[in-house]
């Protein structure tokens, strides 16, 4: 039996069959290749060795296909996770607003980062109001800064579900009392063109939160 034939048998054999063949070769005066052929012929039964080899080849093909599908699925999931963490837009922004107490002194914070290392921090007082107004003022300041920089593609993240939902739902379903803020933000977004606005949990909005808290803590 040549090496090619032996490799075909070895590839088709299960682990237990290869172990059995080695034991058979040790006990008898036959080569491992001959012993493996005997073991597989016995396993094949009436359909014969050729049928068994073809059947095992098909099983391997199916296993390989399933393995590749699992790898592709894993790659797609990873790509989706990475896309969520690192938006495709060239510019990225984060915003946060705070009111101390609520309503009370407003501090706004925002961070705007560009593809070439640009970094613009916004941290300032913005009068008095409630937390939703503070968040809207922070978002407005971020968008105004982006407009001044000539940004045309921007991914914006914030931890205020109230404001983000209010903007994304629009005037028909937006919150009462925030109409002027919403109109200003939507006008800025339209001027910038490609703006994605998405909610993130507070722990992933640390820089903007720090800037807003820093501003709110300043006394007149």
**pLDDT for the residue 155:** 96
- The two tokens of residue 144 are 């105004």
**pLDDT for the residue 182:** 94
Q: Assess contact for 93 and 112: CB atoms under 8 A.
A: yes
Q: Residue 86: left if φ>0, alpha if ψ -120 to 50, beta else—which one?
A: beta
Residue at token pair 């709110």: 216
Domains of the chain are: 3-85 (no CATH), 91-216 (3.30.420.10)
**pLDDT for the residue 81:** 63
Instruction: Kindly calculate the radius of gyration of the chain based on its CA atoms and give it in whole angstroms.
Output: 33
**pLDDT for the residue 166:** 92
**pLDDT for the residue 171:** 57
Annotate 156-184 with b (16+ C-beta within 10 A) or e (fewer): bbbbbeebbebbeeeeeebeeebeebbeb
Counting as low any pLDDT under 50, the low residues of the chain are: 86-87, 219-220
């Amino acid at each position: 039996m040549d090496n090619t034939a032996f490799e075909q048998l070895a590839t088709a054999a299960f682990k237990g069959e290869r172990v059995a063949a080695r034991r058979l070769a040790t006990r008898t005066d036959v080569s491992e290749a001959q012993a493996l052929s005997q073991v597989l012929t016995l396993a094949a039964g009436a359909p014969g060795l050729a049928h068994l080899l073809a059947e095992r080849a098909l099983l391997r093909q199916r296993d390989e296909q399933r393995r590749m599908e699992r790898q592709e699925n894993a790659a797609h999931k990873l790509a989706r996770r990475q896309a969520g963490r690192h938006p495709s837009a060239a510019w990225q922004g984060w915003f946060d607003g705070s009111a101390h107490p609520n309503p009370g002194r407003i501090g706004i914070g925002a961070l705007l980062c560009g593809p070439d290392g640009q970094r613009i921090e916004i941290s300032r007082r913005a009068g008095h109001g409630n937390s939703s107004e503070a968040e809207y003022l922070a978002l407005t300041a971020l968008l105004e800064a982006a407009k001044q920089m000539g940004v045309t593609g921007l991914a914006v993240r914030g931890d205020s579900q109230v404001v983000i939902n209010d903007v994304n739902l629009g005037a028909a379903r937006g919150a009462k009392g925030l109409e002027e803020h919403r109109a200003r933000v939507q006008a800025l977004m339209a001027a910038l063109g490609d703006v994605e606005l998405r909610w993130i949990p507070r722990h992933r909005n640390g820089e903007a939160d720090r800037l807003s808290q820093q501003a709110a803590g300043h006394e007149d």
